[in-house]
Amino acid sequence: MMEHQTFRPGRVIAALVVLFTWAGWTWPGTPEVSASGALTGHRLMIDPGHGGSDPGAVGPTGLREADVNLRVGLSLRSLLVQYSGATVYMTRDKDMDVTLEQRTTQANQLGVERFISIHHNASSNQQVNGVETYAYTYASADSLDLRDKVYGELLNWSRLPGRGPNTANFWVLKYTQMPAILTEASFISNPYQESRLRDPDYNFREALAIYKGILAHFDTRDAVPTQDPASTWEFLRHLP
Ligand SMILES: [Zn+2]
């Protein structure tokens, strides 16, 4: 009888999976997919701005833009996956550092169809509040259409002052090779708005407005949830 000590790649992979799962590690590019819906077959990337050592803008009582962007981004992913069957990638799905270059490189390598960057605005004037959405200065017609539809839904939902769909030279808009937009749904520097942005239900409703804009862009009105987010999205309360 001879016992061979054979190399088993399967065991190594299993061990690594266990190790990384234990360490809480996941590749941010791993998509979340559901069975079927109005956007089945569409591959989108959501980019919650900032994260890790970069808090983004910080509200008057310390709320970090990076955390708000993540909550809105994760809510948007849930809506797109669970209600419309889209395949959704995230540039980050937790509080972690991701460079601007990593964000656009991921999107370009994956060849996603649309790129949606989530941010919140800030001003040295604490009275300022309002909705802005952006596309690249030399944006495609699809970028402009997505930007305008999301802007309309954010404005309609939030009742905040409209500051216009704009164009800008932002990195994530300039270096993405697919239609891309960036949302600044409100000002975290405004004390009242900061208190709203602390509420996961409010974050969900912002995501819902962006989601409706995306559906309109793809010319479908299906799959808009009717349940009360307050009961459906309790899990969001456990996020940072
Ligand atoms: Zn930002």
Q: What is the pLDDT of residues 31-58, one digit of tens each?
A: 666 557 789 999 999 999 999 999 999 9
Q: How far, in Å, is the centroid of ligand 1 from the Cα of 12?
A: 40
Q: Which amino acid is at 124?
A: S
Beta bridge partners of 181: 116
Q: What is the average pLDDT value for the chain, to the nearest integer?
A: 85
Domain ranges of the chain: 40-238
**d(Cα 3, Cα 98) in Å, to the nearest integer?**
47
Token duo for residue 125: 């004037």
Q: How far, in Å, is the centroid of ligand 1 from the Cα of 17?
A: 33
Sheet holding 43-48, edge to edge: 87-90, 43-48, 114-121, 180-187, 131-136, 162-168
Q: How far, in Å, is the centroid of ligand 1 from the Cα of 193?
A: 15
Neighbours of ion ligand 1 (CB under 5 A): 49, 56, 119
What percent of the chain is modeled with pLDDT above 70?
77
Q: How far, in Å, is the centroid of ligand 1 from the Cα of 7?
A: 48
Query: Any catalytic annotation for residue 132?
Result: no
Q: DSSP 3-state assignment of 6?
A: coil
Q: Count CB-CB contacts under 10 A for residue 4.
A: 5
pLDDT in tens, the chain (240 residues): 444 545 555 554 455 444 444 444 444 555 666 557 789 999 999 999 999 999 999 999 999 999 999 999 999 998 898 888 899 999 999 999 999 999 999 999 999 999 999 999 999 999 999 999 999 999 999 999 999 999 999 999 999 999 999 999 999 999 999 999 999 999 999 999 999 999 988 999 999 999 999 999 998 765 566 554 444 455 454 444
**Residue of 132, 153, 184, 206 with catalytic role:** 184
Q: How far, in Å, is the centroid of ligand 1 from the Cα of 36?
A: 33
Q: Count CB-CB contacts under 10 A for residue 195.
A: 14
Phi-psi region of 219 (alpha: psi -120 to 50; beta: other; left: phi over 0): left
Contact 132, 121 (CB under 8 A): yes
Selection from 69, 119, 112, 114 nearest residue 216 by Cα: 114
pLDDT at residue 31, rounded to an integer: 66
Token duo for residue 55: 């808090």
**d(Cα 193, Cα 127) in Å, to the nearest integer?**
10
Q: Which numeric CATH code is attached to 40-238? A: 3.40.630.40
